[in-house]
Each structure stands twice: as structure tokens, then as C-alpha cells.
Amino acid sequence: MDVIRTFRLSVRDQYIIAQALHVAIKEMEAVEPAILREVSNIADMKHLRETHFDFPEVAFEPVPMPIKSNV
């Protein structure tokens, strides 16, 4: 079943899902001890991200705010 064709997701919908996958994968990979990590779920999420919701990861990273200068 093709997720995008089934739900007719807009680009914004795809972006939101990609962002949720990005955050979830990072959080789930950080679980300690490693024995508690849900490895198969992480792998499935990565597969979804790579095949259906392929946005560059940099799009989900925080952007540092410039420091205001008095000059």
C-alpha cells in the first residue's frame, strides 16, 4: 500500500510526517540501555522516511539565531 497515494498527502503533510519521523528516530536511538531500544521500529521508521518522506535532515535541525551586534 502506497501511503502517499492512499491518503493524497500534500507536501506540507509529507513534511510534517517527515519531521515527526526525524524526531522519533533520534529519540528512539538515544534510549538507554540499548537493550530497550525498539530496533525494528526504528528501522521501519527509517525506511518510511527514505522511501516516502525524503526531506533533507538539515530541514529539521534548529538554526542558531544570530547574535545581535551593537556595531
Please report the DSSP string for 14-46 in residue order. HHHHHHHHHHHHHHHHT-SSGGGS-HHHHHHHH
Asked if 28 and 41 count as a contact pair (C-beta separation under 8 A), the reply is yes
Taking Cα atoms as reference points, which of 18, 9, 10 lies closest to residue 50? 18
Q: What is the largest CA-CA distance in the chain?
A: 58
Task: Kindly tell me if the per-residue pLDDT of 4 is higher than 60.
Answer: no
Task: Kindly tell me if the per-residue pLDDT of 3 is higher than 60.
Answer: no
Residue type, 68: K
Question: What pTM does this model have?
Answer: 0.76
Percent of the chain at pLDDT > 90 equals 59
pLDDT at 27: 96
Task: Kindly tell me if the per-residue pLDDT of 7 is higher than 90.
Answer: no
